[in-house]
Homo-oligomer: A and B are copies of this chain.
C-alpha cells in the first residue's frame, strides 16, 4: 500500500466527497422519517450492541494492545477500553434517546397575520453533522443516536487509536438502520485512519456538511475552531465560579462548594474558583477552606484566604483564568456581589457560575448579570449536563452564544422553517 502521496490525497478527497454526498441524500430521507421508524432503528441498534459484546470486546482488545505497545498513558487506555458494563451503558444510552420526544416537526409558534395568512414555525433537522472525537469509542453510539433522533445524518470520525472499536460499534448501528429500513448512510464512519480526513471534514466538503461537533481535548477543539469553514458546536473552557454571598447559610455553602469542586474535579461543570463575600468571610472562610483541603483539594488563595488556613498556597494571576480540571481551586475574598460579578466577567469563560445566598435580591442580580450559559442559585455547578437538565442526553456543551448554548440535546440539533398557509394572499 505504498501508492504515491498525490494519488492517496486524490483518493481520500474522492472518498470523503462520496461519503458526504451519500450523507446528504440520507439526510433528505431522515428529515421526513417518522418518529416510530427512527425509534425502531434505535431499538435495533441497542439490541445489536448487546448481542455483539464479544465482537466489540475483541476489536477493542486489539486497539488497546496497539495503544499499550505504542506507549499510551494509563488514562488514555482507560478512555479507550471497553468492557461489558461500558457496552451496556452505550446500549442503555440508545434506549434513553429512543425515549425522548422527537423534536422534528414540532410547531413552536403559530400566529395569524391581519391578511389571514397563518404562519407556523416548525422544527426541522440541520442536515448533515460531522462529529470528530478522540479515543472514547462510546461517543460514536451517543452521537449517532442523537443525530438520528433529530433527523440529521452524521459522519463520524474517531481517533485513529480506536479505529477497530469504532468499526465494530458502527457495524451495530448500521445493522439497526438496516432493520428499520433507514439508509445506511444516515450514520457513517470515516473508513480510514488517514488524519487528512479531518481537514476535509473541516472544509465542509463543498457545503455538504452543516455543522461540526468536536468531542475531545482542548487541542482538538482549538484546531476545529480555527480551521472549520462551517458552524461548530464547540466547548472551550469551563472556568466556573461559586460565589458565597454574605447572606449564605454555612451548611448550604459547604455542601454546594464541596460538590461543585470535588464530586468530579475533572468535568467541565466543576468549580475552579471560590469567591467569598468579605462580610461572610469571618464565619465561613475558614470552614469552607478547611473542608476543601481536608477533602484533598489544593486551595490557592489570596492573602485573606491564606490567613484562614496555613495549608493554603498563594494564588497567581494565571490561576484566576485557569480551568484546573483537577482537585485544585483558586479562592478569593471579594468586597461583595458587584466585585464577584466583575471578577467572573473578567476571568470566567461564560460557562456555569453559581451563587449561594438566602437573599433573593442578590440571587436575581447574579442570575441576570453574570453572562454565562448556565447561572445557578443555591445549586451545584456540576449540574451543567444535558442529562441533569432533562435533555436525556447531550452531544456536548456549547460555550458559544450562537444557535445552541449550554448542553446540546436533540432540540439544539434542529433548525426551523416557516410554513405559511394562505388562501390566495398577494403582497400589496
Contacts and interface: CB of A to CB of B under 8 A. Distances in A.
Given A31-B371, A402-B402, A417-B372, A378 B256 contact: no
Contact of A418 (B263, B374, B401, B422): B374
Interface stretch (A280-288, A297-305, A382-390): A382-390
Contact of A367 (B31, B390, B405, B419): B419
26 contacts: A32-B369, A111-B390, A119-B390, A127-B401, A210-B402, A211-B402, A231-B402, A256-B426, A258-B426, A259-B427, A263-B427, A367-B419, A374-B417, A374-B420, A375-B419, A379-B421, A379-B423, A379-B424, A380-B422, A382-B426, A383-B420, A383-B425, A388-B427, A401-B415, A402-B403, A405-B416
Interface residues of A, dominant DSSP? mixed
Given A376-B419, A378-B422, 17 more contacts: A31-B371, A32-B369, A111-B390, A117-B383, A126-B401, A127-B401, A211-B402, A231-B402, A372-B417, A375-B417, A375-B419, A377-B421, A378-B423, A378-B425, A379-B423, A379-B425, A380-B426
A26 interface: no
A291 B424 CA distance: 17
Contacts of A164: none
Interface of A: 28, 31-32, 105, 111, 113, 117, 119, 124, 126-127, 210-211, 231, 252, 255-256, 258-260, 263, 345, 363, 367-369, 371-380, 382-383, 385, 388-390, 400-403, 405-406, 415-427
Contacts of A423: 378-379
Given A389-B418, A390-B113, A368 B259 contact: no
A32 to B, nearest CB: 6
A133 to B, nearest CB: 21
Contacts of A406: 417-418
